[in-house]
Amino acid sequence: MELPASIPTEVARADSQHGNSAHSGSKGGTVDIEIASKVFHTAFQPLPVLRDVSLTIHPGEFVCIVGGSGCGKTTLLRIVAGLETDFEGTVSLDGRRITGPSLDRGVVFQEHRLLPWLTVRDNVAFGKTGKNKRGKQESDRRSPASPEVSHYLALVGLSEFADAYPHQLSGGMSQRVAIARALAGRPEVLLLDEPFAALDALTRTRMQEELLHIWQAERTTVLLVTHDIEEAVFLADRIILMSSQPGTVRRIVNVGLARPRDRTNYDFAQVRKGVLEEFFTPPTPLTTAQGRSE
Amino acid sequence: MSTAGQNRPVAWSTGDGIDGSSSKPRVVSFHFSDHVMGWAIPASLVLVWEILARAGDLPANWLPAPTVVVRTIYELGIAGDLWRHLGITVSRVAAGFVLGAGLGTFLGGLTGYIPAARKLLDPTLQSLRSVPSIAWVPLFLLWLGIQETSKVALIAVGAFFPVYLNLSVAMRHVDTKLLEIGRLYRLNNVEMVRLILLPAVLPEYIVGLRGGLGLAWMFVVAAELLGASNGLGYLMIDGEMTGRAAIIIASVFLFAICGKLSDWLMSVLGAKLLGHRAR
């Protein structure tokens, strides 16, 4: 059941290629997820990880996927990234079926995964070395002096560290470089897999604010996986709550809080409480149905 | 930091502090006296040796005085023999090393990158490794003759294994999380090797090259002792035949200098290639 390629998307893409910077005006970035099932084949028995996950993420939307460990949220993100292709169902971006990784989806992992032998600038430039969705090599590969690389380094506040090596950076700085690398391919969707989980609490809070700033500046669609409910309430337009074994969408919460959000605010606390309670009540058919209807 | 295999065991290490990694000076001012301490014993031994030799307590045909050895080297240099022998030995080492390290690089890379190749080739290569080096000599002489080919082949065998082992193991242990970055950016096989695998294994590879070079110098001695008409090893045999210990000692000394010098060059080259990265 492949979705037909939508014509407006092609127009939008053509626009973004004309302009020097992609971060202007409307872009694509609609992610349609229809996963019937995803099973890991272990040595002993098949392990179902995802079942009946059906979601649409809209252009420019910030969506957080929240769930306990083993609920398949990372697998879901890896499917959207194109790193997992063995599943039943279809996942598409702007109507084009996702069959593998591409520059139109930038990925940030929990670990920064920077190449230790490259400088910060070269690591960011590496983010442009990939192939775009038409399978073509980006023409301007490996040109560290390019203005885009400088742009993204400035965006994450690391212009002064362009010539540093990853081992010279703190955890938060490394993760910012990883974000800049993911953005350097000018993705329509930014995928983040627990990007701040390994950082200390203070750094994490600052990074969340910076991520919002980046999202507002770049207007990309963002899909972020986390197990931190407060993080999700602070960041997301919508929160996808997942339940485990096999992972499925339990409920979708529209956060609906104005930005900038205040973690100490009463409404903030209410939303967080609501999400938390949802986690500790057994799922009923009703909430599951709500989650599916989207 | 998840650098590829930082604490990985390496099969060969010539780590004698030349790269400055084995021991850190505590205080800079102690550094100089550390060096002096290191020279104290060899210097006194040479001095005692010189005195005893001059006093006639050491028979000159057994152990000539250090000054005699130095003069011998000088005389060989003047006559031009030294450069001829040194040149031929260096060229043998160079040829054997290039051949052995090249083959080690190719097979190490192949077995490290393709699991099927490792399963196919590694057991055979590992068992060949346990053959003592000198055991190859008669076979190589039989197959390749007494000329240069058999010597170069023997040296190549020596240089091959450290390079092969280090590269193969390092390739296998490259951080899969970094390889996934390569997948994410859809690098083809050549790009994957060039942009991720090679830089990731470079430190271990350089250790392998240094080990290979060390063994190449060991094997050139064996090759030249067992049948050569020139080279430093031949010079040693010549010294033995004509009863001139000074020539033997001079050759030993020259081998040591050459080995040390080439290892130093290789480590400088390695440091250049590794640049400023953390290691």
pLDDT over 90 (residue A25): no
Q: Say if A127 is an interface residue toward chain B (CB within 8 Å).
A: yes
Sign of the torsion formed by the C-alpha atoms of B21, B27, B28 and B32:
negative
- Nearest Cα of chain A lies from the Cα of B204 at a distance, in angstroms, of 14
Task: Name which of A83, A115, A118 is nearest B183 (Cβ-Cβ).
Answer: A83
**Are B185 and A127 an interchain contact pair (Cβ–Cβ within 8 Å)?**
yes
Confidence of residue B25 (pLDDT cuts 50, 70, 90): very low
Q: Chain B residues within 8 A (CB-CB) of chain A?
A: 1-3, 177-178, 180-181, 183-187, 191, 195-196, 199-200, 202, 274-278
Report the residue of chain A nearest B200, measured CA to CA.
A117
**Are A116 and B177 an interchain contact pair (Cβ–Cβ within 8 Å)?**
no
What is the Cα–Cα distance from B91 to B83, expressed in whole angstroms?
12
Domains and CATH numbers, chain B: 92-226+252-274 (1.10.3720.10)
Task: Name which of B183, B191, B275 is nearest A101 (Cβ-Cβ).
Answer: B183
**Are A117 and B202 an interchain contact pair (Cβ–Cβ within 8 Å)?**
yes
pLDDT over 80 (residue A290): no
pLDDT digits (tens, 9 = 90+) for A232-252: 999 999 999 988 878 888 888
- Interface ipTM > 0.85: no
**Are A83 and B1 an interchain contact pair (Cβ–Cβ within 8 Å)?**
no
**pLDDT for res B31:** 62
**Are A130 and B184 an interchain contact pair (Cβ–Cβ within 8 Å)?**
yes
Q: At A168, list the tokens.
A: 């010279």
Task: Name which of A115, A118, A131 is nearest B186 (Cβ-Cβ).
Answer: A131
Closest CA to B159 of B90, B118, B218, B113: B218
**pLDDT for res A277:** 86
Lowest model confidence (mean pLDDT) among A13-22, A125-134, A194-203, A285-294 = A13-22
Confidence of residue B21 (pLDDT cuts 50, 70, 90): very low
**Mean residue pLDDT across chain B:** 84
**Mean residue pLDDT across chain A:** 80
Residue-wise burial string across B181-199, b where 16 or more C-beta atoms lie within 10 A, e elsewhere: bbbbbbbeeebbbebbbbb
pLDDT digits (tens, 9 = 90+) for A93-149: 998 898 888 888 999 999 999 999 998 998 998 888 755 444 445 444 445 557 888
- Nearest Cα of chain A lies from the Cα of B177 at a distance, in angstroms, of 7
Q: Say if A282 is an interface residue toward chain B (CB within 8 Å).
A: no
Q: How many CB pairs under 8 A join A and B?
A: 60
Own/partner pairs, B67-73, CB within 8 angstroms, 24+ separation? B68/B246, B69/B246, B69/B249, B69/B250, B69/B253, B71/B246, B72/B244, B72/B246, B72/B247, B72/B250, B73/B250, B73/B253, B73/B254
pLDDT over 50 (residue A19): no
**pLDDT for res A23:** 39
B10 close to B204: Cβ distance less than 8 angstroms = yes
pLDDT over 90 (residue B177): yes
**Are B277 and A165 an interchain contact pair (Cβ–Cβ within 8 Å)?**
yes
pLDDT over 80 (residue B128): yes
**pLDDT for res A130:** 58
Q: What is the arithmetic mean of pLDDT over A49-66? A: 91
**Are A115 and B196 an interchain contact pair (Cβ–Cβ within 8 Å)?**
yes
Q: What is the arithmetic mean of pLDDT over B92-99? A: 96
pLDDT digits (tens, 9 = 90+) for B251-275: 999 999 999 999 999 999 988 888 7
A253 close to A274: Cβ distance less than 8 angstroms = yes
**Are A113 and B199 an interchain contact pair (Cβ–Cβ within 8 Å)?**
no
The verdict on pTM exceeding 0.90 is no
Q: Which residues touch B24 (CB under 8 Å, ≥6 apart)?
A: none
pLDDT over 90 (residue A78): yes
**Are B183 and A165 an interchain contact pair (Cβ–Cβ within 8 Å)?**
no
What is the Cα–Cα distance from A138 to A149, expressed in whole angstroms?
14
Closest CA to A198 of A178, A212, A213: A178
Confidence of residue B125 (pLDDT cuts 50, 70, 90): very high
**pLDDT for res B56:** 82
- Nearest Cα of chain B lies from the Cα of A108 at a distance, in angstroms, of 10
- If one compares B212 and A40, the residue with the highest pLDDT of the two is B212
For residue B229, the SS3 value is coil
- Nearest Cα of chain A lies from the Cα of B174 at a distance, in angstroms, of 12
Domains and CATH numbers, chain A: 60-83+99-104+189-294 (3.40.50.300), 114-186 (no CATH)
pLDDT over 70 (residue B1): no
**pLDDT for res A284:** 56
Chain B positions touching A100 (Cβ under 8 A) are: 186
**Are B186 and A101 an interchain contact pair (Cβ–Cβ within 8 Å)?**
yes
**pLDDT for res A131:** 52
Q: What is the arithmetic mean of pLDDT over B5-31? A: 44
**Are A101 and B3 an interchain contact pair (Cβ–Cβ within 8 Å)?**
no
Report the residue of chain B nearest A105, measured CA to CA.
B184
pLDDT digits (tens, 9 = 90+) for A169-184: 999 999 999 999 999 8
